[in-house]
Amino acid sequence: MPLLPFHRWIRFPWLRAGVALLVGVGLRAHEFGDPRHDEAAQRVLREFQPVQVALLAPPKEERRLVAAAEAVPAIAAAFAPFAPSVRTRIEGQYLHVESSGLPAHPMMVGITAWQQQVPLPQPYTGANAWRLPLHPVPAEKPISIRDRFLRGAVALAVNGIPIFNPQNNRGEISQEIGELDQWGGHCGRADDYHYHVAPLHLQDVLGAGAPVAYALDGYPIYGLKEPDGSTPTGLDAWQGHETAVLGYHYHASLSYPYVNGGFRGVVVEREGQVDPQPRAQEVREALTQLRGARLTHFTTVAPEKSFVLRYTVNGRPGSVSYEATGPGIWRFRFTSHEGTTREETYRAGERRGGGGGKAGRKGGPAGPPRRSEATPAEPTQGGGPEELSGSGAAEPESDAASRPRFVLRSPAVGADGRLPAEFTGDGEAVSPPLEWSGVPVGTRSFAVIMDHVDPEGKAKWYWTLYNLPAEIRGLPRNVQGVGITGNNSINRRLGYAPPHSKGPGAKTYVLTVYALSAPVPIERPPAEVSRAVLLAAMEKITLGRAVLEVVYSRPEEKRDTPPPRRRKDSQ
C-alpha cells in the first residue's frame, strides 16, 4: 500500500476527511503544555516527523469519500494538525478558527526589547473567533501593508496564532530591533501572544509543502519554497503569485516583508486594521520597557493555568510567575533582578494593580504606569517614551538621560506654572501657545487635551484637538485651522473654552500632547468628539504623552504664590 508524505496529501481532496483524524492522533503527545516543549529550545519542533498517510479506502468507496471530503475545504484542513487546541467551523462563506492564542512551542525566549508583557490565554472563541473567507475575492486595487494595518493581525498561522504587520505601530520592523523571540513572536499590550513574521518553524511539523498561515483575505501563505521544492518566481509586490497547482498564494521571506506584503484579496480596513477580527482580553495595564532585560526561559507549569518567565538584567536574574486563580483572575509574583519580590492580583476588565516601583524602571516589573509615565503601544530597543510634567524641560533622570525625552512646555508659562489671565475667561480667552520636543520615533500625528478634575472627582475638559500634522512641534497662541477641533464640557461647543477657576483657591489644569502612530480613527463629526471619545480612539495608537500642568486663580483673590504643582517624583 503506497504512502504519501504529509506535504502532498492536501492536493488530493478525497484524502482530506481521513487525514485530519490521523494527524490529530499523531500530534496529541505534543499538545501545548508538554514540559518538553516548555523547557526545550527551538529545535523541539524538529522532533516531529512528517506524518505518513496510508491509502485506506478501497476503490469502490472512492465516491463516498470524495463526497465527504468536499465538506472539508483545503483552508479548514490546513488547521487540522493542531487540533484539538485549534478548532474550526464553517458558517456561510467563512471559516471560523478558535484557539486560546497560546502555541505549543515555547515563547518569549531571546527577546531583548521587552515591555514586561507575558503570554496569557485569549478568548478567541465563539463570536470572538478568527474569520477567514472560504473563497477569496481578488481586489480591484490590492493594498500594501507597508505603513498601513499597523494595528491588529494581517494573517493567522495554522496553529491559531495571529500574525501582525512586520512593522510595529511606530512603523519600526519588530524583527530587526530585538522585539521578537526565537519563534518570531512576542506579547502585545493585552498580554496577547502573536507573531510579526511568518512562522516557518511550523514546517517542521507540517512539512515544506503545506501553508504555514492564511492572510486575512483568505489566500494561503507558504514558506520560502513551492511544495515541489522549487524557488518561487514572478512574485508580485505583495509577495504572492499564481500557479497552476495552488492558484494565487503568498510566500514568506527572510527579510521584509517576512509575510504577505499586502492584500491581493478584498479586506475591510477600519481604524487602522482589518475588520472584523477578535479582541484580546486585557487583564492588566500595559507597561514600559525594562531596559537591559534579556528573556532566557519560559516554562508552562500547567497548560493555560500557570507559567514562569525568567530573564536577566546585566547578568542578574529575575522572574515573573503567574497563575490563574479563577475565571479572568491572575495572581502574579514578580521577583526583580535586584532581589525584591511582590505579588499582584489582576482581574479581567479592571486593568489596574497596586504595588510600588515604576514600570520599566529599576526594581523590575511593576504595577500600571502612573499618570506621569508613558504607556507605549510597543517597546523600543532604546527605551519607551516618557511622559513628563512641568512648564519647561524637566531634569533628566539617571536611567533615561541618554535618550530623547518627550517634553511639553509653553513659552507663556513661567517656572511657577502660573497660567496668564489672557488664556482664561478673565482675559482674552484664547488658547495658550505650546511647544514639544523629544517626539517618539514613528509618530504620525498629534492630539492635545486640556482637562481638570474637580474636587468631586469629575473630569472637565476645555480643549480637544486631534489629527495635528506629524511635522509640527507646537501650536501658536490662539491657534486656528490646524488639525481638527472637538468639543468641550464648558459650553459644549467646538474649540477652546477658557477656564474660569470658580470658587476659592488656585486650580490646576492639565495640558497633554499625545504622540500617535496614525491619524485618530474617528468617524464622528467633530461636535461629538469629547475627551472620552478621543481618549478611546487613541488608546491603541498612543506612542507617548507629555504633560504640562498649569495653575490659575481669579484676580480678585490676589494670590501671589500658587500652590506647588504635582511633580513626577512626588506621585
With 80 as the cut, is the pLDDT of residue 6 above it? no
Q: What percent of the chain has pLDDT over 90?
A: 57
Beta bridge partners of 131: 96
Q: Which of 554, 533, 427, 432 is nearest to 489 (CA)?
A: 533
Domain 385-570 has CATH 3.90.280.10: yes
Burial 24-44 (b: 16+ CB within 10 A, else e): eebbeebebbbeebbeeeeeb
Beta bridge partners of 344: 332
The 10s digit of each residue's pLDDT in 257-306 is: 999 999 999 999 988 899 999 999 989 988 888 989 999 999 999 999 99
pLDDT value of position 94: 97
Q: How confident is the model at residue 558 (pLDDT cuts 50, 70, 90)?
A: very low
The 10s digit of each residue's pLDDT in 85-121 is: 999 999 999 999 999 999 999 999 999 999 999 999 9
Do 562 and 416 contact (CB within 8 A), yes or no?
A: yes
Q: How confident is the model at residue 350 (pLDDT cuts 50, 70, 90)?
A: low
Q: Which of 202, 193, 197 is nearest to 109 (CA)?
A: 193
The 10s digit of each residue's pLDDT in 489-505 is: 988 889 999 887 666 66
The 10s digit of each residue's pLDDT in 118-148 is: 999 999 999 999 999 999 999 999 999 999 9
Q: How confident is the model at residue 555 (pLDDT cuts 50, 70, 90)?
A: low
pTM confidence score? 0.56
pLDDT: is 110 or 15 the higher one?
110
pLDDT value of position 63: 42
pLDDT value of position 384: 30
pLDDT value of position 504: 62
- Stretch 187-201: mean pLDDT, rounded? 96
Q: Which of 406, 490, 487, 488 is nearest to 446 (CA)?
A: 406
Prior bond of 327 cis (ω within 30°) = no
- Neighbouring CB atoms inside 10 A of 565's CB total 18
Angle at 370 between CA 175 and CA 571, to 5 degrees: 140
pLDDT value of position 169: 79
Across the chain, mean pLDDT equals 79
pLDDT value of position 33: 36
Q: Which three cell numbers stand for residue 292?
A: 537591559
With 70 as the cut, is the pLDDT of residue 40 above it? no
For residues 282 and 268, what is the distance between their CA atoms, to the nearest angstrom?
24
pLDDT: is 317 or 453 the higher one?
317
The DSSP symbol for 381 reads: T
For residues 82 and 206, what is the distance between their CA atoms, to the nearest angstrom?
10
DSSP 3-state of 536: helix
pLDDT: is 391 or 486 the higher one?
486
On the CB side of 156, CA atoms within 13 Å amount to 29
Q: Which position has the grid cell 507597561? A: 287
Residue ranges of the chain that CATH labels 3.90.280.10: 385-570
Among 167-171, 339-343, 360-364, 501-505, which is the least confidently predicted range?
Answer: 360-364
